[in-house]
């Protein structure tokens, strides 16, 4: 695979200057066009030790307008990063639409290092590479341009380069972990690199192998490749509808769906007043203790509430919050995205909000908006919400892998009960603000929502993040069911240790 990168291209000084000057003007122009477009650009700079990745990145920063470029190295991790899933730091690095982010290694660094170091085997590496592929597909289908450069040196060239570096006083104090190890293991590294590149090279996010032996050739090629990639992307329609088939999950055909889970709910269940008061006291006390236990065990909890309007989300959340120490939780109401959030992938804002270890985050509406209101109202196209199920499952899986405890609640009421509550709000002065035209409109759309909800539950109910359907006609019953479910789940999760 790397033979193509050992051809021995060279560029002399004169030719370099001429081409570089032209390239600079064109890159700046392309960057301006980018700014006007909706396209975020992610450049991954990876490759063998001593290939000069730092030099290349500095060169790019010189040629581009640095005001629209940000560079990220992932040397040092902060404790805030360590307390969150591994990809949190990468999501933070994603550029807003129209800007460029250059990542040293990015999400390739750790898998390569771990496989090379023997910390994981090929099977584990492949699993991580599948995650990378899904992640890059999600970004590119959302409109991003992902450009990946692999810088290669022959064994002889690398040896020569490393020798030069060790002699340079300035490089000695640069952070270069495990240099001796890499150079001594050239062959092994090449094997790992080949596996990684082969499995993550795709039409949407291709790898470009760059021969790094001659600096001028290397830098010019990178600049020209990046320029071409940007120009090609600018010419494509947005969003890239014609791109790769939607990922693994087969969405069920709603006409042949099994009986709707919602239809199976027995909404007549009630809980009488005295039993409610007893249960409320008991579960709130238990929840308070479990929350402190989770805090001490550094286990985060993510609670998601979705449901029909007037379904009781607010009331259920309040009974949870009442039981919790204010320092341990945060309630986040999800509504229309801000400018900054719209400039990113729809999941970006949720990644950003992930709490530090041991805290609880309660979502009043959530990322499921993608497959609910955005589907029904057409804010998201069909390819977009269809692929959202897998994107959401992957997001939640990463949270779970990081030790988070996830619960998702759909609060449901019958159409009659909903109408009754709507009327009650309209007729009660201090509750009138709660009922809007949008609520009535959503009610009319119920048949469409019903299909969306059924599909959502089927497609995203996983072992690590199950859906709990809550019979909401009786408020007391609903609140206790929510409290009890949260307690049971926390108890089980913390009990495991």
Q: Write down the least CB distance from residue 268 to its own copies, Å.
A: 30
Q: Is 323 helix (H, G, I), strand (E, B) or coil?
A: helix
Helix H segments across 312-436?
313-323, 339-342, 348-352, 373-376, 382-401, 415-427
Comparison of 3 and 36: residue with beta carbon closer to its own copies: 36
Comparison of 367 and 389: residue with beta carbon closer to its own copies: 367
Comparison of 151 and 385: residue with beta carbon closer to its own copies: 151
Helix H segments across 43-97?
53-63, 79-82, 88-93
Q: Write down the least CB distance from residue 67 to its own copies, Å.
A: 4
Residues 6+ apart with CB under 8 A from 84: 354, 356, 357, 402
Q: Write down the least CB distance from residue 68 to its own copies, Å.
A: 8
Separation between Cα atoms, residue 426 and residue 45, nearest integer Å: 59
Comparison of 123 and 326: residue with beta carbon closer to its own copies: 326
Comparison of 357 and 400: residue with beta carbon closer to its own copies: 357
Q: Write down the least CB distance from residue 383 to its own copies, Å.
A: 29
Find the helix or strand (DSSP H, E) in which 170 lies. Answer: helix 169-172
Q: Write down the least CB distance from residue 173 to its own copies, Å.
A: 7
Comparison of 9 and 330: residue with beta carbon closer to its own copies: 330
Number of helices followed by number of strands (H, E) in the chain: 21, 10
CB-CB neighbours of 62 under 10 Å:
11
Q: Write down the least CB distance from residue 281 to its own copies, Å.
A: 15
Residues that bind its own copies in the complex, under the rule CB under 8 A: 25, 28-29, 32, 54, 57-58, 60-62, 66-71, 73, 75, 78-80, 102, 104, 170, 173-174, 288-289, 292, 296, 317-318, 321-322, 324-327, 330-333, 338-340, 356, 364, 430, 433
Which has the closest alpha carbon to 410: 347, 356, 455, 463? 455
Comparison of 11 and 69: residue with beta carbon closer to its own copies: 69
Comparison of 277 and 318: residue with beta carbon closer to its own copies: 318
Q: Write down the least CB distance from residue 330 to its own copies, Å.
A: 6
Q: Write down the least CB distance from residue 270 to its own copies, Å.
A: 25
C-alpha distance from residue 236 to each of 142, 145, 203, 360, 458 (Å): 13, 11, 14, 42, 34
Burial class for 281, CB neighbours closer than 10 Å (0-12, 13-18, 19+): exposed
Q: Write down the least CB distance from residue 18 to its own copies, Å.
A: 17
Comparison of 272 and 289: residue with beta carbon closer to its own copies: 289
Comparison of 78 and 242: residue with beta carbon closer to its own copies: 78
Comparison of 103 and 141: residue with beta carbon closer to its own copies: 103
Q: Write down the least CB distance from residue 36 to its own copies, Å.
A: 10
Separation between Cα atoms, residue 54 and residue 81, nearest integer Å: 23
Q: Write down the least CB distance from residue 56 to its own copies, Å.
A: 9
Residue holding tokens 């959530």?
Answer: 366
Question: Vertex 195, ends 174 and 152: CA angle to 5°?
Answer: 45
Q: What are residue 366's phi and psi, to 5 degrees?
A: -160, -160
User: Do the bridges between strand 145-152 and strand 100-104 make them parallel or antiparallel, or are there none, so unpaired?
Assistant: unpaired
Is 376 in contact with 344 (CB distance < 8 Å)?
Answer: no
Comparison of 13 and 170: residue with beta carbon closer to its own copies: 170
- Ranges assigned E (strand) in 86-182: 100-104, 145-152
Strand partners, 71: 102
Query: How far apart, in Å, do the first and last CA atoms of the chain sit?
Result: 46
User: Do the bridges between strand 360-364 and strand 207-211 make them parallel or antiparallel, or are there none, so unpaired?
Assistant: unpaired
CB-CB neighbours of 245 under 10 Å:
7
Residues 6+ apart with CB under 8 A from 435: 310, 422, 425, 426
Q: Write down the least CB distance from residue 440 to its own copies, Å.
A: 21
């Amino acid at each position: 695979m790397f033979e193509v990168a050992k051809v021995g291209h060279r560029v002399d000084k004169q030719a370099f200057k001429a081409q570089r000057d032209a390239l600079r003007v064109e890159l700046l122009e392309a960057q301006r066009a980018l700014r006007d477009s909706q396209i975020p650009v992610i450049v991954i700079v990876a490759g063998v030790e001593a290939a000069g990745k730092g030099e290349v990145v500095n060169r790019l920063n010189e040629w581009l307008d640095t005001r629209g470029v940000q560079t990220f190295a992932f040397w040092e991790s902060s404790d805030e990063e360590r307390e969150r899933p591994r990809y949190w730091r990468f999501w933070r690095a994603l550029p807003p639409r129209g800007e460029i982010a250059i990542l040293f290694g990015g999400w390739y660094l750790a898998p390569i290092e771990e496989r090379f170091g023997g910390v994981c085997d090929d099977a584990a590496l492949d699993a991580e590479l599948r995650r990378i592929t899904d992640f890059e597909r999600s970004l590119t289908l959302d409109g991003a341009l992902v450009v990946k450069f692999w810088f290669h040196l022959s064994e002889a060239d690398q040896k020569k380069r490393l020798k030069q570096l060790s002699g340079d006083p300035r490089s000695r104090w640069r952070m270069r972990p495990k240099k001796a190890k890499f150079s001594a293991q050239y062959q092994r590294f090449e094997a790992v690199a080949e596996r990684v590149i082969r499995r993550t090279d795709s039409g949407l996010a291709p790898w470009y192998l760059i021969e790094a032996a001659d600096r001028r050739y290397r830098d010019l090629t990178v600049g020209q490749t990046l320029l071409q990639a940007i120009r090609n992307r600018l010419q494509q329609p947005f969003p890239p509808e014609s791109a790769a088939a939607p990922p693994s999950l087969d969405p069920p055909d709603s006409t042949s769906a099994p009986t709707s889970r919602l239809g199976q709910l027995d909404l007549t269940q009630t809980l009488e007043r005295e039993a409610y008061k007893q249960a409320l006291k008991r579960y709130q006390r238990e929840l308070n203790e479990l929350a402190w236990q989770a805090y001490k065990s550094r286990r985060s909890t993510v609670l998601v509430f979705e449901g029909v309007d007037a379904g009781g989300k607010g009331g259920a959340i309040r009974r949870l919050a009442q039981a919790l120490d204010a320092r341990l939780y945060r309630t986040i109401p999800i509504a229309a995205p801000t400018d900054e959030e719209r400039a990113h992938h729809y999941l970006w804002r949720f990644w950003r909000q992930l709490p530090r270890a041991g805290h609880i985050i309660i979502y009043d509406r959530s990322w499921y908006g993608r497959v609910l209101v955005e589907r029904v109202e057409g804010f998201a196209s069909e390819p977009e919400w269809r692929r959202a199920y897998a994107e959401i499952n992957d997001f939640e899986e990463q949270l779970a892998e990081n030790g988070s405890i996830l619960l998702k609640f759909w609060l449901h009421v019958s159409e009659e009960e909903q109408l009754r509550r709507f009327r009650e709000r309209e007729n009660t002065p201090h509750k009138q603000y709660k009922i809007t035209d949008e609520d009535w409109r959503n009610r009319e759309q119920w048949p469409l929502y019903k299909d969306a909800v059924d599909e959502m539950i089927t497609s995203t109910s996983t072992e690590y993040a199950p859906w709990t359907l809550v019979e909401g006609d009786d408020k007391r019953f609903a609140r206790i069911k929510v409290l009890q479910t949260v307690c049971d789940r926390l108890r089980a999760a913390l009990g495991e240790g």
